Amino acid sequence: MSATAELNAFGTPPTSLELAEETLEIAPIRVGDIPKLLTAIQPFSEQLLAEQIDWFAIVTHHGERLLQAMAIAARKPLQWVEALALDDAIQLATALFEVNADFFIQRVMPALRQAATRINAQITGPLAGISPSKD
């Protein structure tokens, strides 16, 4: 199965975007990028969950971290993202957010919930009464 077909199986097909005389393939982030991306968005992650995202506040208070997150998700060097024209940067941010929001909502969050349910079931099972020794 091709990489594109595998991504389509996740429900979020890659999308192409023409920016800065390049064609970018915007696809869900890869597992190896998740720690770097989460570190980049950590200071403003709560704001991303808001019903109405205040992009002005995010850019004002966390602009460098937002650019880092965009570079990670786009798989481009930070300097490339920083050099984009404003309208191109907005297009890129929109495409990255749309593709990855669907990926997290449809795949990652349900998988994490299932894992948490399994772990909680094990904790409340036969090991529930065991407590650490107090030597």
Print the domain residue range for 39.
3-110
Would residue 128 count as lying in a domain? no
User: In this model, does residue 9 exceed pLDDT 50?
Assistant: no
* 115 within a domain of the structure (yes/no): no
Please tell me the predicted confidence (pLDDT) of residue 34.
Answer: 87
Structure confidence at residue 11 (pLDDT)? 53
Higher pLDDT, 56 or 100: 56
Domain membership flag for residue 122:
no
Give the Cα separation of 127 and 5 in Å (integer): 42
pLDDT digits (tens, 9 = 90+) for 49-99: 778 889 899 999 999 999 999 999 999 999 999 999 999 999 999 999 888
In a domain, 43, yes or no: yes
Does residue 129 belong to any structural domain of this protein? no
Residues in the chain: 135
Q: Nearest Cα to 92, choosing from 19, 8, 13, 31?
A: 19
8 domain residue, yes or no: yes
Give the predicted TM-score (pTM) of the model. 0.69
Instruction: Say if 116 falls within a structural domain.
Output: no
Domain count, the chain: 1
Structure confidence at residue 7 (pLDDT) = 46
Nearest in space to 42 (alpha carbons), one of 76, 3, 68 = 68
pLDDT, residue 82, reads 97
Is residue 133 domain-resident? Answer: no
